[in-house]
């Protein structure tokens, strides 16, 4: 069901880089959602996920609220009742519909939400030439916010469709044949001593040579790295099956106490979306439906608990955020298997040939051993957008890199994805690290 991006209201304003970028990002979101019916877009499969219709409306609410309402004189809300429905967690914006009940929003319909998107797009197209610096900064922030929700939309639809006994596919089955099994892990020594990580978060736009970064990525600060090495690639499905067959999910020795309790209570025996058929073969459910496990592909949809247990089983460990970021800072963040458009989406291995670190950006986000905490000197932004990241800095772990559902160009070495340790519906895998 490959889809094509339709013409967009801002596509005629290509002279403005921000307008062109807005058209590109908004167009991709619409194309990703195009295969969905109203029912597909309304259902909510768990409290951590949101309906596709809600994602489409929420990212639009962000532009309407923080750019049009606050910076465009005379702008009138599309519907004064909708902010209550589509605000996510911004306390400064008042009361909102409870997250676990987003699937109960049967109305407005998907068509009405798409009309909302067109309305806001047209209004922003007219306003962009006259927007001031702060409004342009918020527009750029909104674009990166929408790219995050493009990935979330795909994650949430996969989880929803996996709950359907028919196991429907959102996109056509992958045409690529399974890759060749990678060779044995090679260890790449990392930098030792004092170094810097983080970003100063320039937000003056590409036309002035600036580079966007979320506030939680900064500021740049010094860390000290002890002697260490990173595995040159991600752990594969084939290697994970060895872990399963060795009793990895049945023996407590390699698990954190919380992790062992979690797999016992939830009867976890394999990564999310894996199925073992009576014939003994493993299958996985993805956005292309049910497919045989590709043994050479990186293992995906595992929790921090599982990643940590696997690392302990091998006798190694997970990288720290600083080790990973320092190793990745000279690599191309737009390389690897990432999302280029609507269509088939699944993790698959990057080329196993060549030297050095592979799969750092693409295929799967990589769990680190580092808690999601503020960098030294971090300060939340003023106003409601200050709630974007800072208030979530507790109880979660940092993931680095990018995945097959990350829009290409969205990530960078300093990017900090974060999830609670039990979560695994995101495209998350692991790379090993070792002390030297």
Per-residue confidence at 4, pLDDT binned at 50, 70, 90?
Answer: very low
3-state secondary structure of 129: helix
User: What CATH number is associated with residue 299?
Assistant: 3.90.1580.10
> Taking residues 61-77, what's their average pLDDT?
96
Cα Rg, the chain, nearest whole Å: 22
Task: Give CA–CA dist 3/9, Å, rounded.
Answer: 19
3-state helix, strand, coil in the chain (%, to 5): 40, 10, 50
| Structure tokens belonging to residue 271 | 């990564």
User: Residue 14 above 50 pLDDT?
Assistant: no
132 and 256 in a single domain? The answer is: no
Instruction: Tell whether 178 is covered by a domain.
Output: no
DSSP state at residue 64: I
First vs last Cα of the chain: how many Å apart?
Answer: 49
| Structure tokens belonging to residue 244 | 């399963």
Instruction: Tell whether 255 is covered by a domain.
Output: yes
Instruction: Tell whether 405 is covered by a domain.
Output: yes
266 and 409 in a single domain? The answer is: yes
b/e burial code for range 260-292 (CB count within 10 A of at least 16 → b):
bebbeeeebebbbbbeeeeeeebbbbbbbbbee
Task: Give CA–CA dist 287/172, Å, rounded.
Answer: 8
336 and 199 in a single domain? The answer is: yes
| Structure tokens belonging to residue 255 | 């698990």
**What's the confidence (pLDDT) of residue 352?**
55
69 and 157 in a single domain? The answer is: yes
pLDDT digit string (tens) for 360-382?
A: 999 999 999 999 999 999 988 77
62 and 156 in a single domain? The answer is: yes
Instruction: Tell whether 192 is covered by a domain.
Output: yes
**What's the confidence (pLDDT) of residue 350?**
56
Per-residue confidence at 203, pLDDT binned at 50, 70, 90?
Answer: very low
Angle at the Cα of 376 (from 373 to 382), degrees rounded to 5? 80
**What's the confidence (pLDDT) of residue 176?**
55
Instruction: Tell whether 180 is covered by a domain.
Output: no
332 and 390 in a single domain? The answer is: yes
Instruction: Tell whether 4 is covered by a domain.
Output: no
| Contact by Cβ (8 Å): 10, 37 | no
User: Residue 8 above 50 pLDDT?
Assistant: no
pLDDT digit string (tens) for 296-326?
A: 999 999 999 999 999 999 999 999 999 999 9
Domain end among 129, 163, 197: 163
**What's the confidence (pLDDT) of residue 9?**
42
Task: Give CA–CA dist 115/330, Å, rounded.
Answer: 43
pLDDT digit string (tens) for 151-164?
A: 999 999 999 999 99
> Taking residues 163-188, what's their average pLDDT?
82
Predicted TM-score (pTM) of the model is 0.92
Total residues found in the chain within this entry? 436
Question: H/E element holding 152?
Answer: helix 133-162
| Residue scoring higher pLDDT (286 or 8) | 286
| Structure tokens belonging to residue 381 | 């932004």
279 and 420 in a single domain? The answer is: yes
Domain end among 130, 163, 196: 163
User: Residue 247 above 50 pLDDT?
Assistant: yes
> Taking residues 243-251, what's their average pLDDT?
97
For the chain, how long is the longest CA-to-CA vector? Answer: 66
> Taking residues 391-398, what's their average pLDDT?
92
Task: Give CA–CA dist 106/410, Å, rounded.
Answer: 32
Instruction: Tell whether 172 is covered by a domain.
Output: no
User: Residue 194 above 80 pLDDT?
Assistant: yes
| Structure tokens belonging to residue 282 | 């493993």
> What's the mean pLDDT when you consider all of the chain?
90
User: Residue 3 above 70 pLDDT?
Assistant: no
153 and 202 in a single domain? The answer is: no
> Taking residues 231-236, what's their average pLDDT?
96
Could you tell me which of 7, 187, 235 has the C-alpha nearest to residue 243?
235
**What's the confidence (pLDDT) of residue 13?**
33
4 burial class (0-12, 13-18, 19+ CB within 10 angstroms)?
A: exposed
User: Residue 222 above 90 pLDDT?
Assistant: yes
Task: Give CA–CA dist 95/137, Å, rounded.
Answer: 26
Contacts of 424 (CB under 8 A, 6+ apart): 271, 272, 301, 302, 303, 306
Task: Give CA–CA dist 286/302, Å, rounded.
Answer: 14
**What's the confidence (pLDDT) of residue 1?**
28
323 and 213 in a single domain? The answer is: yes
| Contact by Cβ (8 Å): 48, 423 | yes
Task: Give CA–CA dist 50/160, Å, rounded.
Answer: 10
Domain end among 121, 148, 163: 163
3-state secondary structure of 381: coil
Residue with tokens 């043994």: 295
**What's the confidence (pLDDT) of residue 12?**
37
pLDDT digit string (tens) for 328-365?
A: 999 999 988 999 988 777 777 655 556 789 999 999 99
242 and 387 in a single domain? The answer is: yes
**What's the confidence (pLDDT) of residue 93?**
87
DSSP state at residue 173: P
Task: Give CA–CA dist 305/312, Å, rounded.
Answer: 11
Per-residue confidence at 105, pLDDT binned at 50, 70, 90?
Answer: very high
138 and 214 in a single domain? The answer is: no
Could you tell me which of 198, 98, 223, 145 has the C-alpha nearest to residue 389?
145
| Contact by Cβ (8 Å): 85, 94 | no
**What's the confidence (pLDDT) of residue 217?**
93
Per-residue confidence at 180, pLDDT binned at 50, 70, 90?
Answer: confident
Residue 380's alpha-carbon distances to 22, 140, 306, in angstroms, are 25, 18, 32
Torsion of CA 12, 15, 18, 22, to 10 degrees: 20
> Taking residues 86-98, what's their average pLDDT?
90
Where in the sequence is the domain holding 86, given as residue range(s)? 17-163
- Count of the separate structural domains present in the chain: 2
User: Residue 385 above 80 pLDDT?
Assistant: no
Determine which of 199-208, 218-227, 424-433 has the lowest per-residue pLDDT on average: 199-208
358 and 426 in a single domain? The answer is: yes
Instruction: Tell whether 353 is covered by a domain.
Output: yes
User: Residue 204 above 60 pLDDT?
Assistant: no
């Amino acid at each position: 069901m490959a889809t094509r991006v339709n013409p967009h209201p801002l596509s005629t304003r290509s002279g403005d880089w921000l307008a062109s970028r807005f058209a590109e990002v908004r167009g991709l979101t619409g194309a990703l959602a195009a295969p969905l019916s109203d029912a597909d877009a309304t259902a909510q499969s768990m409290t951590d996920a949101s309906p596709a219709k809600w994602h489409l409306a929420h990212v639009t609410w962000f532009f309407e609220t923080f750019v049009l309402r606050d910076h465009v004189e005379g702008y009138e809300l599309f519907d004064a009742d909708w902010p209550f429905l589509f605000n996510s967690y911004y306390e400064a914006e008042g009361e909102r519909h409870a997250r676990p009940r987003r699937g109960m929003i049967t109305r407005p319909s998907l068509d009405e939400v798409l009309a909302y998107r067109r309305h806001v797009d047209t209004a922003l197209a007219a306003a962009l030439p006259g927007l001031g610096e702060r409004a342009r900064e918020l527009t750029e922030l909104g674009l990166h916010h929408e790219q995050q929700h493009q990935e979330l939309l795909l994650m949430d639809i996969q989880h929803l469709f996996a709950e359907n006994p028919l196991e429907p596919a959102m996109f056509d089955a992958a045409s690529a044949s399974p890759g060749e099994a990678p060779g044995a892990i090679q260890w790449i020594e990392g930098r030792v001593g004092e170094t810097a990580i983080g970003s100063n978060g320039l937000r003056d736009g590409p036309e002035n040579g600036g580079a966007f970064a979320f506030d939680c990525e900064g500021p740049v600060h010094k860390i000290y790295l002890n002697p260490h090495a990173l595995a040159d690639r991600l752990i594969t499905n084939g290697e994970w099956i060895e872990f399963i067959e060795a009793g990895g999910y049945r023996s407590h020795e390699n698990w954190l106490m919380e992790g062992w309790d979690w797999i016992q209570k939830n009867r976890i025996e394999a990564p999310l979306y894996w199925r073992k058929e009576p014939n003994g073969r493993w299958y996985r459910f993805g956005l292309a439906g049910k497919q045989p496990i590709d043994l050479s592909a990186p293992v995906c949809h595992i929790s921090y608990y599982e990643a940590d247990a696997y690392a302990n089983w091998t006798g190694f460990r997970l990288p720290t955020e600083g080790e990973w970021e320092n190793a990745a800072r000279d690599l191309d963040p737009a390389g690897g298997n990432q999302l280029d458009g609507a269509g088939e989406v699944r993790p698959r291995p990057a080329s196993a040939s060549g030297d050095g670190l592979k799969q750092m950006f693409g295929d799967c986000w990589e769990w680190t051993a580092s808690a999601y905490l503020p960098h030294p000197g971090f300060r939340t932004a003023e106003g409601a957008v200050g709630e974007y990241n800072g208030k979530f800095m507790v109880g979660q772990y940092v993931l680095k890199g990018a995945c097959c559902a990350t829009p290409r160009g969205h990530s960078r070495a300093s990017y900090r994805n974060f999830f609670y340790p039990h979560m695994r519906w995101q495209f998350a895998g692991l790379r090993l690290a070792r002390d030297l």
